[in-house]
Amino acid sequence: MSADEKTNKNLYVEDGDEGDENEGRVPPFQTPKGVHDILPHDHEYYTYIKKIVRHRCRQAGFKRISTPIFEYTEVFKRTVGEATDIVTKEMYTFEDRKGRSLTLKPEGTAPVCRAYVQHGMHNLPQPVELYYIEPFFRYERPQAGRYRQFWQFGFELIGETDSALDAQVILLAYRIYQDLGIADGLKLQINNIGDLESRKVYAEALRDYYYGKERYLSDEDKARLQKNPLRILDSKHEDTMILNQSAPKFKDFISKESKEYHEEVLMFLRDLKIPYVENDNLVRGLDYYNQTVFEFYDEKKGGQNSVGGGGRFDGLIELLGGQPTPAIGFGMGLERVIAQMKRNKVRVPSKDDLHVFIAQLGKEAKRLSIPLIDKLREKGIKAMGALGKPAIKNQLKIADRFKVPYCVLIGETEVREGKAIIRDMSVGTQTTVAFDKVVPEIIKRIGEKNLDFYNPSEPV
């Protein structure tokens, strides 16, 4: 078992001093199917990703937005598309006490556009650049990298259209993957699915192609043939996938302008040295896209579980009652990014590591420990003590498990003599110092630059 798996399984079981009484027992309550706890070790990854994302977004002028966990169901039906998997079978939809239909948000683009219209953001200088880091909910079949609650970082650039912007959005995503140390293993695939008019013509051509071949289609794909034949291209049904290979191709139906637009995006990507592959069958699972669509996926694992994806959605704001407004955006799943980081053995520097552990013996020592811990923390030293544990041996075991570099020991003798012992845990040496010298001595050993201070005047 890897260290990660061990930590995740046993995180709160203190084997050793408490005994292994939890071993072999299945606790009566588990997380519901398809969702997971984020334990402290994994939170370090989330925090790390958020920091990188915030930094890159700030550099590019994006501001953070949060929308509610649920929206009126119609927001998604109208935009994501009535025939999509998300709307037909993956939404957590419920009625409130007044019978209004609400849905836990399965994705972030439609809510951000709803907010853009609701708050009159068309009055702001355009483009409006927004990003979010939030949980989303989809009732999908749980499997590796596919959860019913997952976190997504996404950003949307609303109010302007240009092929250079599409390239910029892809560049931002690419830089974030680079910062996270996973860009090398990811492949960018890109397609242009034309404007709404050419999509209609293409949809008709697809219908003509599949009519007469219905017996090879799954029931789901037959339904798609009526509602939105483009979705058949996304099918995971084996016979349909074979049929799809000879289906009419989008690029034969998109307009001259769309083709030129696409060529420009590709040219910018080459200029930026972002490797890509073109994929004619890439349509993405949401109906609001037009023109550029793209996805990043792990080459070794294939295109099934994309690590991030996005595209242009020029018609979405209008669908939500706004003026026709061009827009483009991108979203990536944090769980999939973290899995990729772990596969690539990316180490996350942790700020959570403690500096000092205080071990004490006897009532008087405990009385001295509490203000000492407080004083250490006030000076920027991350300190803790197992004040409820009586035996010093057990306290030291805990200090060992926290991998602290230093331990302060206060026993009855030290109380009597007004002293404390500082133990260097890496080499096991001990030094006795006067009690009022403990804090300066620890600061000296840790180093001023490693102290952990919150600076309230630092810009947020």
Q: How far is the CB of 288 from ligand HAM (least distance, A)?
A: 8
* 282 versus 358: smaller Cβ distance to ligand HAM: 282
The per-residue DSSP string of 195-216 comes to -HHHHHHHHHHHHHHHTT-GGG
Tell me how far apart the alpha carbons of residues 324 and 327 are, in angstroms, rounded to a whole number: 10
d(CA 330, CA 343): 23
Which of 349, 350, 367, 347 shows the shortest CA–CA distance to 358? 367
Nearest to 165 by CA among 306, 334, 316, 314: 314
Q: Where are the alpha helices (DSSP H) in 194-287?
A: 196-210, 219-227, 238-245, 256-271
CB of 164 to ligand HAM, least distance (A): 18
Gap between the Cα atoms of 245 and 238, Å rounded: 11
Q: Give least dist CB 384 to ligand HAM, A.
A: 34
Residue 154 backbone dihedrals phi, psi, to 5 degrees: -145, 155
Tell the smallest beta-carbon distance from residue 295 to ligand HAM (Å). 7
Q: What angle do CA 258, 255, 291 make, to 5 degrees?
A: 35
Nearest distance, CB of residue 101 and ligand HAM, angstroms: 21
Residue 279 burial (10 A CB sphere; 0-12, 13-18, 19+):
middle
CB of 145 to ligand HAM, least distance (A): 6
Structure tokens at 401: 């498990």
Least separation in angstroms between CB 162 and ligand HAM: 17
Cβ closer to ligand HAM: 175 or 379?
175
The single residue listed with the structure tokens 């079978």 is 89
For residue 423, the minimal CB distance to ligand HAM (Å) is 45
Q: What does the alpha-carbon distance between residue 370 and residue 357 come to, in Å, rounded to a whole number?
A: 12
Nearer to ligand HAM, 339 or 415 (CB): 339
Closest residue by Cα to residue 429 from 406, 411, 410: 406
- Residues within the interface to ligand HAM (CB under 6 A): 107-109, 138, 140, 145-147, 150, 152, 154, 156, 285, 306-311, 329-333, 335-336
Question: How do the residues of the chain divide into helix, strand and coil, expressed in percent and rounded to 5?
Answer: 45, 20, 40
Nearer to ligand HAM, 17 or 134 (CB): 134
Q: Which is nearer to ligand HAM, 333 or 385 (CB)?
A: 333
Q: Whose Cβ is closer to ligand HAM: residue 297's or residue 357's?
A: 297
Closest contact distance (angstroms) between CB of 308 and ligand HAM is 5
> Per the structure block, which two tokens stand in for 260?
């030129």
Measured from the CB atom, the residue of 115 and 421 that comes closer to ligand HAM is: 115
Instruction: Indicate the residue among 195 and 414 with the shorter CB distance to ligand HAM.
Output: 195
Between 146 and 222, CB nearer to ligand HAM: 146
